[in-house]
Amino acid sequence: MSGAGLILPAAILLTLGLSMAMAQGLPVRIHDGIRTFAGDPNRVVAATQDPPSRITLYSAHKEGGRPWADAIWVRQTPEGRSFLSRAYDCEAGTYRWLGEAARLGQISLSVSSVAQTAPRRLEPGTVEYDLARHACAL
């Protein structure tokens, strides 16, 4: 297939991806260059009642020209805090779990298999969806 013949299929896939993300209500914000974002420990992005927790952004990263976001979150509970690492494909409406740990430098040590990091569909109404929505809008 020629280069010109690949343009139409690529455009169709891009349109399908954007429509899936828009159907889920996820923003797809793409920057020209690499961007990093510092979180605000006073801005709660998601919260749960049982068990009680509040989640704030620690930091995020977006690659230039791509609909992806990587984020590290802080989950505060009555027992203490933990750090969560996620990678989001804002266009496809999926995320990858990249670990959780009580200490920032130990996040990757919590991953014990490649299967744990496989893409997972984001479902509206879940905490993961709320986190993705925030990271994708950056």
89 contacts: CB under 8 Å, gap ≥ 6: 67, 68, 95, 119
* pLDDT for the residue numbered 27: 85
Average pLDDT rounded to a whole number, residues 125-130: 95
Domain ranges, ordered by start, for the chain: 35-136
pTM greater than the 0.75 cutoff: yes
Distances 96 to 51, 68, 87, 127 between C-alpha atoms, Å: 23, 11, 5, 14
pLDDT tens digits, one per residue of 75-99: 999 999 999 999 999 999 999 999 9
Contact 60, 127 (CB under 8 A): no
pLDDT tens digits, one per residue of 5-55: 555 454 444 444 444 444 467 889 888 889 999 999 999 999 999 889 999
Rg of the chain in Å (alpha carbons): 16
Q: How many CA within 13 A on the CB side of residue 36?
A: 4
Q: Which residue stretches of the chain are H helix?
A: 3-24, 127-137
